[in-house]
Chain A
Amino acid sequence: KAGVTQTPRYLIKTRGQQVTLSCSPISGHRSVSWYQQTPGQGLQFLFEYFSETQRNKGNFPGRFSGRQFSNSRSEMNVSTLELGDSALYLCASSKGRGAETQYFGPGTRLLVL
């Protein structure tokens, strides 16, 4: 089975721009979660999607949004980028919701200048 894939792998943007990151889960997995990983804050939960609906959300401003498509692929969008948004964004998929094992992608490294 192919693992979780994320595109692009690296991204450089400037303040004020917006960015869209993509995640393709493992085939058959219906839940996708997004995390922000930074050296100072560790892994912070952004949101979880299941059956094209956002089911849970972390403590991030409304500039962070996402969606999930009928094939379970997910995108996250960050608008009006700030310097502090520079981070590794990880996507994880699982078969279902709740206390399931998560399978992580390689991440998208975003640098905001």
Chain B
Amino acid sequence: AQRVTQPEKLLSVFKGAPVELKCNYSYSGSPELFWYVQYSRQRLQLLLRHISRESIKGFTADLNKGETSFHLKKPFAQEEDSAMYYCALSYPITYNNTNAGKSTFGDGTTLTVKP
């Protein structure tokens, strides 16, 4: 069964420090990995996805298939990065993929960036 694990419920760093939010997954097949973010009083929104290989707001995430990880990193955290971050896994539509269309989210990590 697909599973996404975010081992840290809470993460606190100082402004300007590097930050890494961990995400590990278990899968069967070739899933697509995402990071979603929820800022205070805002709706959940996409931060980045593996397939686009973009850097959004200074964040990057590298897919490590050997370690089944998709950790989110930023070299210099900003106070406006304080938010809840969710790692998510989805399956593409392929023949005989009963998981297609189903998304699995981790429990989320609350990041606090202190001044």
Interface positions of A (Cβ within 8 A of B):
3, 31, 33, 35, 41-45, 48, 50, 55-56, 58, 90, 92, 96-107
Q: When the two chains form the complex, which single residue of B45, B49, B100 contacts A104, counting CB atoms closer than 8 Å?
A: B45
| B103 & A55 in contact (Cβ 8 Å cutoff) | no
Interface residues on B, range: 20 to 34
Q: When the two chains form the complex, which single residue of B43, B46, B49, B103 contacts A105, counting CB atoms closer than 8 Å?
A: B43
Residues on B with C-beta less than 8 A from A50 are 101
A104 and chain B: residue at smallest CB distance: B44
Known: A42-B106, A98-B91, A100-B90. A55 touches B101 (CB 8 A): yes
| A101 & B49 in contact (Cβ 8 Å cutoff) | yes
Residues on A with C-beta less than 8 A from B92 are 98-99
Question: Quick one: CB contact mask for B26-64 with A, threshold 8 Å, 1 for yes?
Answer: 000001101010000001111001010000000000000
Q: Can you identify 30 A-B contacts, CB atoms within 8 angstroms?
A: A31-B101, A43-B108, A48-B101, A48-B102, A55-B100, A56-B99, A56-B101, A56-B102, A92-B44, A96-B93, A97-B93, A97-B100, A97-B101, A98-B90, A98-B93, A98-B100, A98-B101, A99-B51, A99-B90, A99-B91, A100-B90, A101-B34, A102-B46, A103-B45, A103-B46, A104-B36, A104-B44, A104-B45, A105-B43, A107-B43
Q: B70 interface residue, CB < 8 Å from A? A: no
